[in-house]
């Protein structure tokens, strides 16, 4: 558990991407991406399909090695201090939770052990995430049999289980019905009060409700980085959002 945050001077920015590049053969999926997210900011990471969002998020979380560039999480290098950096991160991958054949209870117990939580911490944190993510009714059902909404909630539970101070959420609300959306958004809003969050989404309304900052990526490069206010008035912002992401804002 990340109960001892790194001293403030070096962890001013909890997420730091420095000149990140990822090549697949000659193709640059991510090309010289640099940005940082300070403590307790909820930052939207937007862009059209294929822009490089997931690839960047995988590099930030250590699931993919950059071809060039580096990542620091809470001041720890993902390249040379991977274990220390990873303890600060909770990650919701784009395809939802791992361990499909397990139940939420089994998967979370397994992860809690792998994260090195003590028996008491395991009990406390599993109870906490079960309640926060409303998992009680599916606690003992195989994850593979759950609806998209419940699977996302299991993914969120896995991400916040060890109480990380940084959350990287890859499309946490995609494919959810309106009721499920409300629950996950409320959870992110609550988590955003104490955590540093980077989240990708297609929905402008979500950006407006949850995020104070927007980083836009297109063809592997950052094309906008600023506050929601910097995007202009509501209508102008909607147009700009559409222009930059290709997504409708209704």
Taking each continuous run of H as one helix and of E as one strand, the counts in the chain are 9, 10
Least gap, CB of 137 to ligand ADP (angstroms): 32
| Cα separations in angstroms, 75 against 17, 65, 236 | 11, 18, 37
Least gap, CB of 12 to ligand ADP (angstroms): 27
Question: Which lies closer to ligand ADP via its Cβ, residue 1 or residue 21?
Answer: 21
Least gap, CB of 93 to ligand ADP (angstroms): 11
| Cα separations in angstroms, 187 against 7, 153, 181 | 27, 10, 10
Question: Which lies closer to ligand ADP via its Cβ, residue 50 or residue 232?
Answer: 50
Per CB under 6 A, residues contacting ligand ADP are 24, 29, 47, 49-55
Question: Which lies closer to ligand ADP via its Cβ, residue 32 or residue 124?
Answer: 32
Question: Which lies closer to ligand ADP via its Cβ, residue 29 or residue 138?
Answer: 29
> Residues 6 or more apart from 190 whose CB is under 8 A from it?
132
Is 37 buried (19+), middle (13-18) or exposed (0-12) by CB count in 10 A? buried
Least gap, CB of 224 to ligand ADP (angstroms): 15
Instruction: Write down the residue that tokens 């991407």 correspond to.
Output: 17
């Amino acid at each position: 558990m990340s109960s001892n945050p790194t001293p403030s001077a070096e962890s001013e920015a909890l997420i730091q991407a420095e000149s990140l590049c990822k090549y697949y053969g000659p193709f640059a999926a991510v090309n010289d991406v640099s940005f940082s997210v300070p403590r307790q900011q909820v930052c939207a990471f937007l862009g059209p399909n294929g822009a490089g969002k997931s690839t960047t998020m995988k590099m930030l979380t250590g699931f993919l090695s950059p071809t060039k560039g580096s990542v620091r999480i809470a001041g720890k290098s993902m390249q040379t201090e991977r274990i220390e950096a990873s303890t600060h991160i909770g990650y919701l991958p784009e395809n939802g939770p791992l361990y499909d054949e397990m139940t939420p209870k089994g998967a979370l117990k397994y992860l809690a052990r792998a994260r090195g939580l003590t028996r008491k911490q395991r009990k406390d944190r599993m109870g906490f995430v079960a309640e926060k993510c409303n998992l009680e009714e599916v606690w003992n059902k195989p994850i593979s049999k759950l609806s998209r909404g419940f699977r996302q909630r299991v993914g969120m539970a896995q991400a916040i289980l060890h109480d990380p101070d940084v959350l990287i959420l890859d499309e946490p609300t995609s494919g959810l019905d309106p009721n499920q959306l409300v629950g996950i958004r409320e959870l992110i809003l609550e988590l955003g009060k104490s955590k540093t969050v980077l989240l990708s989404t297609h929905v402008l309304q979500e950006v407006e409700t949850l995020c104070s900052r927007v980083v836009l990526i297109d063809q592997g490069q950052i094309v906008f980085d600023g506050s929601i206010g910097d995007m202009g008035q509501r209508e102008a912002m909607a147009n700009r959002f559409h222009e930059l992401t290709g997504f409708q804002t209704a």
